[in-house]
């Protein structure tokens, strides 16, 4: 039997138009950022989940985050900086909440395995947060982020 348990939280840090404007700016200001997005689109179309759950995609997402910070710093625009920080904090808050709700569900219910489906850009952040929890002995779950083979 499969039971679906939603763990995301509702609400947004910025309205959709602000987020779209921010990412449009990133694509306009840095050709490498635009190219990274195009690679992700093409590879996802060609390989599907094998690409989305790959080290290659994790690296692209990591590189895009670095480019985003570089663009925000270079633009030296207070509104953009505040929006970007708000957006990054919101996503971190969401990831922390997912982990918290999964642990709470574990304590209230028994299950052998579960699948957490999130956007691929969250993989690395979740892995780091979970490794920190495990290192500090605050997680009694076994998290498996194995990569699919192409």
- C-alpha distances in Å from residue 111, one per residue of 89, 105, 107, 116, 126: 31, 9, 10, 14, 21
Per-residue pLDDT of the chain (150 residues; tens, 9 = 90+): 778 888 888 777 667 788 899 999 999 999 999 999 999 999 999 999 899 989 999 999 999 999 999 999 999 999 999 999 999 999 899 999 999 888 888 888 877 778 888 888 998 889 889 888 888 887 778 887 776 554
- Residue 112: predicted pLDDT: 77
Report how far residue 33's alpha carbon sits from residue 64's, in angstroms, rounded to the nearest whole number. Answer: 6
- Residue 150: predicted pLDDT: 46
Report how far residue 26's alpha carbon sits from residue 72's, in angstroms, rounded to the nearest whole number. Answer: 9
The whole-model pTM stands at 0.83
């Amino acid at each position: 039997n499969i039971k679906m348990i939603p763990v995301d939280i509702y609400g947004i840090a910025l309205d959709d138009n602000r987020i779209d404007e921010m990412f449009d700016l990133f694509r306009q200001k840095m050709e490498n950022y635009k190219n990274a997005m195009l690679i992700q689109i093409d590879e996802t179309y060609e390989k599907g989940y094998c690409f989305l759950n790959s080290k290659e995609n994790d690296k692209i997402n990591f590189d895009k985050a670095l480019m985003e910070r570089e663009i925000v710093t270079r633009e030296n625009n207070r509104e953009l900086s505040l929006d970007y920080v708000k957006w990054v904090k919101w996503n971190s808050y969401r990831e922390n909440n997912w982990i918290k709700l999964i642990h709470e569900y574990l304590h209230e219910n028994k299950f052998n395995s579960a699948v957490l489906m999130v956007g691929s850009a969250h993989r690395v952040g979740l892995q780091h947060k979970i490794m920190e929890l495990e290192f500090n002995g605050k997680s009694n779950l076994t998290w498996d982020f194995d990569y699919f083979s192409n």
